[in-house]
Amino acid sequence: MLKDTSINHVNVRKIISMVGGKENISKITHCLTRLRFILYDQLKVKIDDLKKIPEVKGCFNQDDQLQIIIGTNVEKYYKTIQQYILKIDDNKNNKISNKVYSKFITCLISNLSEIFFPLLPTLICGGLILGLRNVISEIPIIDNKSLLEFYPILKPIYEFLWLPCEAIFHFLPVAICWSTVKKIGGTPILGIILGITLVSPQLMNPYNLIDQSPNVWDFGLFAIQKIGYQAQIIPAIFSGLFFGWFEKFMRRFIPDYLKLVIIPIITLSISLVVAHGILGPIGRMIGNEIAVIIKFIMFGNFAPIGSAIFGFVYPLLVVSGLHHTTLTIDLQIMQSQGGTPIWPIIALANIAQASSVVGIILISRKENEREITIPAAISAYFGVTEPALYSVNLYYRFPLFCAMAGSSCAGFICGLFNVLSNGIGIGGLPAFLSIKPMYWPIYFFSTIISIIIPIILTIFVYRYQKRKGILISN
């Protein structure tokens, strides 16, 4: 076995041992910062010993999964652990997997992060490029004129930058179908083909539905409207899930010598009808309803309260592992409203978690603690909060709530002024690059709030608990 010298293989073997050995591992996946284990026997896990391993920032059980927080280096640990457990019995694997994933909703929620994880680089890139285009076209320089108006030479750059943005966002269903089909265990290239059919130029752009009625394919017994799903998330996920499931179903009945010929044509043909005739319209309806609900909660008169509530509870979504589900809502709102109010609050919640750790750094004098707190704070300020959450804030407990209070206040301000981002971007302090430039002043003020309040509250509560003798000392 070729060893990666950048990671500690002794501790990798300890992780495998502490989860009950490779014989106890049914399946392992990962997201941006976490290893996710499906185990045969959860009772064999030694949680306390796992937490003592330096690379482990935290671990807990969620939806029959053991989730171990590693950090941004998680992919290397995932690949190394895979090398150590290659000899797992596939038949035993399938048996436990069918048991764990028997509930569709649980399956959908637990796998959303794994569907979106491969797409994150493109989504972040797209959000930042959209931000750059808005900087060129929206920031007033002199006499309320933008850079584009002052320097017409920027127009070709502005127009050229729409190429990657269009590819990333308008044709996002292609990437989602690919990732979903791959996750389910289908053929990824067929997932790409399915995704392309959802955004084909033959179809009416959904943005034009208000102005004109779509044409239809009339099959006699039924008709299918020629409507595209550009930039739509839920129809693509539903279509990819069906395709992956149906392809795996077909494999059980088609002989090996006919699989290459029969399975692609049958699965793709039937999936096309189901996607465009059933799942696509249902997905669009669900997406529109979600947009209406979010618009009510985070736009208009209720926006300050809704944004404050979301800012308060978002860290709990991170703890539970459900925070990746917000990507679906973010992208859906962005498609319908031209921007999302959710991402700015997520970024402010990242900053607030980091600031609570800074409060601990400033007030605590514990020996060797800064070896953990300083890297955790830096990581959270750049959008990866798990080290801060699990190594510091959940350890002390009260810094988590101090951070939640800070992000709630910052969220209230953002909601009051309807701050929007162009889309998904870098989290933490650099997130302003994805915020629409017209909202930069109020967003910078919200950022200051999300820094100051958690620091002050954390220092105050730390001193209070120390004076009362109830501060964690071990």
Structure tokens at 233: 């998330």
DSSP, res 192: H
Is 361 within 8 Å of 376 (Cβ atoms)? no
Write out the E strands in 230-296.
Answer: none
Sign of CA dihedral 335, 340, 346, 347: positive
Q: Which residues of 33-63 are buried (b: 16+ CB within 10 A; e: fewer)?
A: bbbbbbbeebeebeeeebbebebbbbbbeeb
Location of structure tokens 């959710």: 342
Tracing tokens 């279509």 back to the chain, one arrives at: 239
Highest mean pLDDT among 5-9, 49-53, 105-109, 272-276: 272-276
CA 214 from chain centre, in angstroms, equals 33
Distance, in Å, from the CA atom of 22 to the CA atom of 2, rounded to the nearest integer, reads: 19
CB-based contact 404:312 (threshold 8 Å):
yes
Q: Given the residues 31, 165, 177, 409, select the one marked as catalytic.
A: 31
pLDDT at 450: 95
pTM value is 0.68
237-243 average pLDDT score: 93
Q: What tokens appear for 458 in the block?
A: 């954390």
Report the alpha-carbon distance of residue 458 to residue 353 in Å, rounded.
11
User: Which residue is listed with tokens 């050995």?
Assistant: 21
Q: Is the alpha carbon torsion for 128, 387, 360, 344 positive or negative?
A: positive
Tens of pLDDT, residue by residue over 392-447, are 888 788 899 999 999 999 999 999 998 988 877 777 888 888 888 889 999 999 99
- Report CA-CA distances (Å) from 212 to 84, 140, 219, 308: 58, 36, 22, 39
Sign of CA dihedral 100, 103, 113, 306: negative
Tell me the pLDDT band of 35, cut-offs 50, 70 and 90. confident
Percent of the chain with pLDDT over 70: 85
Inter-residue contact 284 to 234 (CB < 8 Å) = yes
The encoded tokens of residue 146 equal 């933008």
pLDDT at 217 over 80: yes
Token pair for 460: 């105050």
Query: Predicted confidence band at 458 (pLDDT cuts at 50, 70, 90)?
Result: very high
- Which residues of the chain does CATH 3.30.1360.60 include? 9-102
Could you confirm whether 125 is annotated as catalytic? no
- Four-way CATH pick for 9-102: 1.20.1250.20, 3.40.50.150, 3.30.465.10, 3.30.1360.60: 3.30.1360.60
Question: For residue 242, how many other CB atoms are within 10 A of its CB?
Answer: 22
pLDDT at 95 over 50: no
